[in-house]
């Protein structure tokens, strides 16, 4: 599994919130799916906030999080 410092080349431009979202997304096992809502519950935020972070992720479209 990738660590939080290895899956993004330059984390300096990321907010602490986006780092948390991306760390959780990278913990999703291959072949599994989670919703924005389930990630939001874990981070105690809204699904919209997670969706916005994922819309701006540094590695392109993500098929693990619908």
- The catalytic residues are 62
Contact 43/53 with Cβ under 8 angstroms? no
């Amino acid at each position: 599994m990738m660590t939080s410092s290895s899956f993004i080349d330059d984390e300096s431009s990321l907010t602490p919130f986006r780092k948390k979202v991306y760390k959780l997304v990278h913990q999703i096992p291959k072949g599994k799916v989670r919703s924005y809502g389930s990630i939001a519950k874990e981070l105690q935020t809204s699904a919209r906030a997670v969706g916005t972070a994922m819309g701006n992720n540094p590695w392109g479209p993500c098929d693990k999080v619908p």
